[in-house]
Amino acid sequence: MAEKLVLDDDRFFDPDPTVRTIARELYAAVKDLPLVSPHGHVDPQLFAENQPFPDPAELIIIPDHYIFRMLYSQGIPLESLGVPTIDGTPVETDHRKIWQIFGEHFHLFAGTPTGVWLAHELSIVFGVKVKLTGGTAPEIYDHIQRQLQTPAFRPRALFDRFNIALLTTTDAAEATLEAHQAIRASGWHGNVIPCFRPDGVVNLAHPDWRENIAALGKVSRTNIGSYRAYIQALEERRTFFKSMGAVSTDHGVSTPYTHRLPAKEVETIFQRGLKGRASPADAEAFTAHMLMELARMSVEDGLVMQIHPGSFRSHNQAIYERFGANRGGDIPTATEYTRNLHELLNAYGNDPRFRLVLFTLDESTFSRELAPLAGHYPALRLGAPWWFHDSIEGMTRFRERVTGRAGIYNTAGFTDDTQAFPSVPARHDLARRIDANFLAGKVARHVIDPSDAREMIKALSYDLAIQTYRLSASE
């Protein structure tokens, strides 16, 4: 017989009964608070069209690199998982076969955050009663497929069911935001807003940089033949994004190195870029300069600036060439913040108009650099454990290493950073449980009292995200 899928009410809490009891009470106080998702990658087209999700594989497996990178690491070709190729060569189109492979290898996710999220999705979102295995995969597929055809499982209905107060997408600087405009025009009340991400027009080393610049010029109605025109185009787009509800910008960089270049030098580098002659050194210098410029823009227009450095993108060249970027081949690198951000923080870190949220893939920097920086500069907040560290252990280490130097109120609350829409409530639930458990340990050791803990768990679950991204509590 199939083994039952059971989620214990005290999951992820400490086995010590004193801590567990306190954690249970703290979690109960926040488990039903609205979800604020100010940093994510869900496609806004889902909500613009509000069409039924095609099937379980298309919804859960194919778009989620958290899932298929693990399967690929065990020798399962991405083609067999239906991941589309950039050259259009064939991949598996029988989504039942894809789901069957997933079921047969579901044990690989045991003990991982992905396994935790998936258990929550299957049990709580879809009402699955048995564990996913090769044997149960067909019946679970059919069960989810039947639900996906009902109105209750359309994107907007799930958005409301998940109690999402705000969901931010991530959109290129040259994006037209047509999906966001369609959402607004539909009259639906769901609060889905864009986030301005200009990486494709900032990174001179991006293979499509010149094409992206042309697209930026088109949507901003600007002839970008000079650096000055380029800056004007970016400022115009930021104004447009704000008019569509945006509250933040997002910047994925190799390093957080910041340095303002002389006007003549930056123009020379920009012109080399337009001619396709920019060197790696040009790209590094230009990005460092643009982080300064983008921070200056944030001071002026109020958009919260997010920087997440330290990823060696597309490390697996063969996968990149066949499937493109964001296919599970991005690997963390060591990252330095204190010296790299010195110029930017000295220019803007004391300005009350500026807000900077830092994410990291290098845990060694939490206590050595990031917590001391956030514990001093008024403009700085620390983003939640990100990507490779959004696990039970990673979130616990974050709290342990950061709280002593920066407290909790110099952190940005929780951000789920997901592309897989059904996992949004699972990720928030995990974070709330881990934070409740962390605070319960502090109460049990009499570091904080119960009333402090109750205020802190609400802050971590809801208030800090609202405050960091300058939202109103009604959003």
pLDDT, mean over the chain: 97
Residue 440: Cβ within 10 Å count: 26
What are 301-342's pLDDT values in tens digits?
999 999 999 999 999 999 999 999 889 999 999 999 999 999
The number of C-alpha atoms within 13 Å of 64 and in the hemisphere containing its C-beta is 22
Read off the pLDDT of each residue in 252-261 and give the average, rounded to a whole number.
Answer: 97
CA dihedral sign of residues 146, 147, 153, 158: negative
End-to-end, the C-alpha distance of the chain in Å comes to 46
With a CB cutoff of 8 Å and minimum separation 6, the contacts of 190 are: 47, 156, 159, 160, 164, 167, 183
What are 362-414's pLDDT values in tens digits?
999 999 999 999 999 999 999 999 999 999 999 999 999 999 999 999 999 99
The reported pTM is 0.96
- Please state, in angstroms and as integers, the Cα–Cα distance from residue 413 to each residue in 112, 392, 410, following that order: 22, 16, 9
409 token code pair: 């109120």
Q: What integer pLDDT is reported at residue 1 of this predicted model?
A: 79
CB 159 within 8 A of CB 125: no
| Whether pLDDT at 37 is above 70 | yes
Buried b (16+ CB within 10 A) or exposed e, 227-251: beebbebbeebbebbbeebbbbbbb
What are 121-135's pLDDT values in tens digits?
999 999 999 999 999
Taking CA 200 as the corner, what is the angle to CA 194 and CA 203, rounded to the nearest 5 degrees? 130
Q: What integer pLDDT is reported at residue 320 of this predicted model?
A: 94
Query: How many Å apart are CA 212 and CA 231, to the nearest integer?
Result: 14
Q: What integer pLDDT is reported at residue 326 of this predicted model?
A: 87
Q: What integer pLDDT is reported at residue 238 of this predicted model?
A: 98
- Please state, in angstroms and as integers, the Cα–Cα distance from residue 127 to each residue in 8, 11, 43, 49, 147, following that order: 15, 18, 24, 25, 10
Q: What integer pLDDT is reported at residue 473 of this predicted model?
A: 63
Query: How many Å apart are CA 38 and CA 170, to the nearest integer?
Result: 10
441 token code pair: 């340990």
CA 250 vs. chain centroid, Å, equals 10
What are 167-206's pLDDT values in tens digits?
999 999 999 999 999 999 999 999 999 999 999 999 999 9
* Residue range 17-50+159-468, CATH number: 3.20.20.140
2 token code pair: 């199939």
165 in helix, strand or coil?
strand
Query: How many Å apart are CA 66 and CA 345, to the nearest integer?
Result: 33
Q: What integer pLDDT is reported at residue 475 of this predicted model?
A: 53
Helix (H) or strand (E) holding 311: strand 311-312
The rounded percent of the chain whose pLDDT value lies above 70 is 99
With a CB cutoff of 8 Å and minimum separation 6, the contacts of 66 are: 113, 114, 328, 420
Q: Helix crossing, 392-406 with 113-120: angle to 10°?
A: 110
With a CB cutoff of 8 Å and minimum separation 6, the contacts of 275 are: none
What are 132-156's pLDDT values in tens digits?
999 999 999 999 999 999 999 999 9
Read off the pLDDT of each residue in 266-290 and give the average, rounded to a whole number.
Answer: 98
Question: What is the dihedral angle through the alpha carbons of 453, 455, 457, 459, rounded to the nearest 10 degrees?
Answer: -150
Query: How many Å apart are CA 112 and CA 110, to the nearest integer?
Result: 6
Q: What integer pLDDT is reported at residue 419 of this predicted model?
A: 87
Listed by start position, the domains of the chain span 17-50+159-468, 52-153
Closest CA to 236 of 192, 288, 274, 198: 198
Read off the pLDDT of each residue in 113-124 and give the average, rounded to a whole number.
Answer: 97
Q: What integer pLDDT is reported at residue 87 of this predicted model?
A: 87
DSSP 224-259: --SHHHHHHHHHHHHHHHHHTT--EEEEEESS----
| Whether pLDDT at 418 is above 60 | yes
What's the CATH number of domain 52-153, 2.170.150.70, 1.10.2020.10, 1.10.940.10, 1.10.3210.10?
A: 1.10.2020.10
Q: What integer pLDDT is reported at residue 472 of this predicted model?
A: 81
| Whether pLDDT at 474 is above 80 | no
